């Protein structure tokens, strides 16, 4: 299979303008003859569904939550980047582009990243027009903060609830279209498969999560915006419902899966408190602006933080990276925290964290300023841990948070299945091997508001308005497969709960394919995961009936797909014998212990083809060329 990225020719600054002009348009009177399915209602899905409906297309939007407003984008705290240069500190589209390519450790596609940087300013304009209450200065203008991996202040924010406010903005424009009748919303509906007719994506099969009814929906194109797959680790900062099913089912039908092992482990999460725990909670990375990260110099230190004198503390990020200090990119900050804990210098009762200390900032600017900046985060921390971070330092530790990998898409955000578009975190395109803070929100909204409406229109103009009959044999066949899978899960009636299997898978993934990976460990995982999967299909216990509100069945279906995805992630991590961004292969490091990239052998996107459950996936490569940001070893010293 030849991977055609469809990147337009010409200078990088002109590619998107040229591409838009070259795209075919659909006549305004013809737009109402087209139907588009959007799966997911987060930043990418909601903004796409609303924008497509405004254009005149008929949109059906599906989400598993009870309302579109609850998609997991809502939990993003820190902010959204945009190259507005409102601070006059030297920012530009080019600099945001450069930072993102470099931050991604040169494993993203330059043309996509440039377009993202170019559109970033429009997003802020759009959101302000919708009423997103971004933080402002006393003069009434928008405020900015700085974020990891950048030396300019380009991050716009709404207290610690930026994702919530951006999502509510997108939800509000979406819900307006629902009221008008141009979008039909299907909450509590889970996409369980995609339907191909003559090789093109022409619809989906969904399960109504209240009645259990399986039904088909036909359309001219399908847009998947279902987010990432960090829940493969069981413990992650994702919402409990986040899952891989939509993209995994599309992968099984022919969409290539790109860079599945590129996962982001976020450095500032609250460490685990015990076995009972169900998920991990993120503390915004913006805290690193004012908090200093340290561990005791001595192993097995037993004194309280405030009793440890300055000379016996190791502010390791400031020591190792003097120019970026506590604001080094996420992958580096996470890895260094793991090293400190592995070295026996972890803090807290379980010795599984590092300190994030606000003492010096409180002394410098006063507690009211710190409260104004991070008040809700501090409260959140205190609620969970029972400790007051104004008095004792926070304890943090890395946790899976975001997946840079996802379905392979070309410049049009179209997967290798014609008519199946993938946007937001669900695709792989913009963040390479490591995503910079405050860039996920930017990408989700750029894809949904400003990229997809153009590229999808071009596709629709080319396929024409002839409708697909939902009675087509292909729909019936997929519906039968889906129903069969559901009844099979219920019929096993084994001895172990879904969560017990999920925790076990998560442990394998975290140990073998987490923050550091090596050949031996990955090979072991590739033995263990298929064994666990086999056991799951023999011994899982799903209670209740399929034709009912059944949370146990929902979880089982999702885990069945995670059990296949986990194996692919390990194949990918094993094959990529280099370290880059979030993918740290212990065999490939510099003498200082930093990740060592191998551009001669691995400057490509790994796009995997599904060949059957348990059978080795087939690798396809999209070579990456860096014409505008010269390849260099990342340095944050």
Partner 1 sequence: MDLVLHIWCQASATAKGSFVRYEAKDINEHASFLEMLDIVNERLMEGGEEPIAFEHDCREGICGSCGVVIGGTPHGPQHGAATCQLHMRHYKQGDEIWIEPWRAKAFPVIKDLVVDRGALDRIMQVGGYISARTGSPPDANAIPIKKVHADLAMDAAACIGCGACVAACPNASAMLFVSAKVSHLGLLPQGQPERRERVLNMVAQMDAEGFGGCTNHAECQAACPKEISIDFIARLNRDLFGATLAAG
- Indicate the residue among 339 and 379 with the shorter CB distance to partner 1: 379
- Indicate the residue among 129 and 365 with the shorter CB distance to partner 1: 129
* Among 20, 54, 212, 392, contact with partner 1 (rule: CB under 8 A): 54
184 binds partner 1 (CB under 8 A): no
371 binds partner 1 (CB under 8 A): no
Spatial neighbors of 197 by CB under 8 A, at least 6 apart, are 203, 468, 472, 474
276 binds partner 1 (CB under 8 A): yes
Pull the structure tokens for residue 487.
């009844």
Question: Which residues in the 219-258 window bind partner 1 by CB under 8 A?
Answer: 239-241
* Among 2, 22, 90, 140, contact with partner 1 (rule: CB under 8 A): 140
389 binds partner 1 (CB under 8 A): no
Output the smallest distance, CB 431 to partner 1, in A. 22
Q: Which residues pair with 183 in a beta bridge?
A: 59
84 binds partner 1 (CB under 8 A): yes
Question: Which residues in the 329-348 window bind partner 1 by CB under 8 A?
Answer: none
Pull the structure tokens for residue 621.
């490569």
* Among 14, 18, 32, 66, contact with partner 1 (rule: CB under 8 A): 66
Which H helix or E strand runs over 334?
A: helix 330-340
Secondary structure letter of residue 132 according to DSSP: -
- Indicate the residue among 552 and 575 with the shorter CB distance to partner 1: 552
* Among 113, 168, 516, 568, contact with partner 1 (rule: CB under 8 A): 168
**CA dist., res. 386 & res. 383, Å (int):** 6
- Count of Cβ atoms closer than 10 Å to residue 193 Cβ: 24
26 binds partner 1 (CB under 8 A): no
* Alpha carbon 637 to its chain's center: 27
298 binds partner 1 (CB under 8 A): no
Residue with tokens 């260094």: 336
- Indicate the residue among 389 and 617 with the shorter CB distance to partner 1: 389
The three-state secondary structure class of 142 is strand
- Indicate the residue among 543 and 635 with the shorter CB distance to partner 1: 543
Q: Pseudo-torsion of CA 283, 284, 288, 289, nearest 10°? A: -140
Cβ–Cβ < 8 Å for 146, 33:
no
* Among 41, 81, 100, 126, contact with partner 1 (rule: CB under 8 A): 126
- Indicate the residue among 241 and 432 with the shorter CB distance to partner 1: 241
The three-state secondary structure class of 328 is coil
454 binds partner 1 (CB under 8 A): no
**CA dist., res. 450 & res. 425, Å (int):** 16
Cβ–Cβ < 8 Å for 377, 160:
yes
Angle subtended at Cα 568 by Cα 565 and Cα 571, rounded to the nearest 5 degrees: 155
Stretch that binds partner 1, among 397-405, 484-492, 518-526, 548-556 (CB under 8 A): 548-556
179 binds partner 1 (CB under 8 A): yes
Output the smallest distance, CB 109 to partner 1, in A. 24
* Among 1, 25, 27, 129, contact with partner 1 (rule: CB under 8 A): 129
Output the smallest distance, CB 436 to partner 1, in A. 21
Question: Which residues in the 572-631 window bind partner 1 by CB under 8 A?
Answer: none
386 binds partner 1 (CB under 8 A): yes
Binding mask 432-451 for partner 1 (x = CB under 8 A): -----------------xx-
Output the smallest distance, CB 475 to partner 1, in A. 27
Cβ–Cβ < 8 Å for 449, 118:
no
Output the smallest distance, CB 104 to partner 1, in A. 26
Cβ–Cβ < 8 Å for 198, 15:
no
CA distance readout (Å), 367 to 228, 361, 371, 389:
37, 8, 6, 11
Q: Pseudo-torsion of CA 481, 482, 486, 492, nearest 10°? A: 30
17 binds partner 1 (CB under 8 A): no
Q: Total number of residues binding partner 1 (CB under 8 A)?
A: 79
- Beta-strand ranges (E) seen in 370-495 are 394-403, 406-407, 420-422
378 binds partner 1 (CB under 8 A): no
- Indicate the residue among 28 and 139 with the shorter CB distance to partner 1: 139
28 binds partner 1 (CB under 8 A): no
DSSP string for residues in 186-251:
E-SEEEEEEEEETTEEEEEEEEETTT--EEEEE-SEEEE-----GGGGSSSSS-TT--SHHHHHHH
- Indicate the residue among 3 and 75 with the shorter CB distance to partner 1: 75
For residue 112, is it left (φ>0), alpha (ψ between -120 and 50) or beta? alpha
Question: Which residues in the 456-495 window bind partner 1 by CB under 8 A?
Answer: none
* Among 38, 178, 247, 305, contact with partner 1 (rule: CB under 8 A): 178
* Among 40, 78, 148, 187, contact with partner 1 (rule: CB under 8 A): 187
79 binds partner 1 (CB under 8 A): no
306 binds partner 1 (CB under 8 A): no
* Among 127, 201, 559, 573, contact with partner 1 (rule: CB under 8 A): 127
CA distance readout (Å), 437 to 22, 79, 183, 191:
33, 8, 32, 30
For residue 413, is it left (φ>0), alpha (ψ between -120 and 50) or beta? left
* Among 34, 57, 62, 86, contact with partner 1 (rule: CB under 8 A): 86
DSSP string for residues in 265-304:
EEEEEPPP--TT-----B--GGGGGT-EEEEESSTT--S-
* Among 200, 552, 598, 628, contact with partner 1 (rule: CB under 8 A): 552
281 binds partner 1 (CB under 8 A): yes
* Among 39, 43, 61, 74, contact with partner 1 (rule: CB under 8 A): 74
């Amino acid at each position: 299979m030849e991977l055609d990225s469809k990147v337009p020719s010409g200078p990088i600054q002109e590619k998107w303008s040229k591409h838009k002009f070259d795209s075919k348009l659909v006549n305004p009177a013809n737009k109402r003859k087209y139907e588009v399915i959007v799966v997911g209602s987060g930043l990418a899905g909601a903004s796409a569904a609303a924008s497509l409906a405004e254009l005149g297309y008929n949109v059906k939007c599906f989400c598993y939550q009870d309302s579109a407003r609850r998609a997991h984008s809502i939990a993003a705290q820190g902010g959204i980047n945009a190259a507005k240069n409102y601070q006059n500190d030297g920012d530009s589209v080019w600099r945001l582009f450069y930072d993102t390519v470099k931050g991604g450790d040169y494993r993203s596609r330059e043309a996509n990243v440039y377009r993202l940087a170019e559109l970033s300013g429009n997003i802020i304009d759009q959101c302000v027009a919708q009423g997103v209450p971004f933080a402002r200065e006393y003069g009434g203008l928008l405020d900015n903060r700085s974020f990891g991996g950048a030396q300019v202040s380009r991050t716009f924010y709404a207290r610690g609830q930026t994702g919530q406010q951006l999502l509510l903005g997108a939800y509000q424009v979406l819900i307006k279209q629902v009221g008008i009748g141009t979008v039909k919303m299907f909450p509590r509906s889970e996409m369980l498969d995609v339907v191909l007719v003559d090789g093109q994506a022409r619809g989906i099969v969904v399960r109504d999560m209240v009645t259990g009814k399986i039904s088909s929906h036909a359309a001219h194109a399908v847009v998947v915006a279902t987010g990432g797959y960090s829940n493969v680790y069981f413990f992650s900062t994702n919402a409990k419902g986040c899952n891989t099913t939509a993209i995994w089912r599309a992968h099984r039908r022919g969409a290539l899966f790109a860079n599945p092992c590129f996962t982001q482990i976020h450095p500032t999460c609250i460490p685990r408190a015990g076995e009972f725990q169900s998920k991990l909670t993120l503390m915004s990375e913006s805290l690193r602006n004012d908090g200093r990260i340290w561990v005791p110099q001595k192993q097995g230190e037993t004194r309280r933080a405030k009793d440890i004198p300055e000379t016996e503390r190791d502010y390791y990020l400031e020591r190792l990276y003097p120019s970026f200090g506590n604001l080094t990119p996420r992958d580096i900050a996470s890895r260094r925290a793991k090293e400190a804990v592995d070295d026996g210098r972890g803090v807290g009762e379980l010795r599984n964290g590092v300190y994030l200390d606000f003492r010096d900032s409180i002394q410098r600017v006063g507690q009211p300023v710190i409260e104004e900046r991070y008040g809700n985060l501090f409260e959140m921390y205190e609620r969970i841990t029972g400790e007051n971070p104004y008095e004792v330092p926070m304890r943090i530790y890395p946790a899976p948070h975001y997946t840079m990998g996802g379905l392979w898409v070309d410049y049009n955000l179209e997967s290798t299945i014609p008519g199946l578009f993938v946007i937001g975190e669900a695709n792989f395109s913009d963040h390479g091997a490591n995503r910079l803070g405050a860039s996920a929100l930017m990408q989700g909204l750029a894809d949904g508001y400003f990229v997809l409406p153009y590229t999808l229109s071009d596709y629709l103009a080319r396929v024409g308005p002839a409708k697909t009959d939902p009675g087509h044999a292909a729909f019936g066949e997929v519906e039968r497969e889906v129903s069969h899978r559901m009844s099979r899960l219920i019929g096993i009636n084994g001895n172990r709960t879904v969560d017990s299997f999920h925790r076990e898978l998560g442990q394998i993934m975290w140990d073998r394919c987490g923050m550091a990976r090596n050949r031996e460990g990955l090979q072991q995982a590739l033995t263990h995961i298929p064994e666990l999967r086999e056991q799951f299909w023999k011994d899982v216990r799903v209670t209740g009936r399929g034709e009912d509100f059944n949370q146990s069945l929902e979880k089982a279906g999702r885990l069945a797909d995670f059990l296949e995805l986990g194996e692919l992630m390990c194949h990918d991590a094993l094959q990529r014998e280099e370290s880059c961004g979030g993918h740290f292969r212990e065999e490939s490091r510099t003498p200082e212990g930093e990740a060592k990239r191998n551009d001669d052998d691995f400057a490509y996107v790994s796009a995997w083809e599904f060949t059957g459950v348990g059978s080795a996936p087939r690798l396809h490569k999209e070579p990456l060329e860096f014409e505008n940001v010269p390849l260099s070893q990342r340095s944050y010293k």
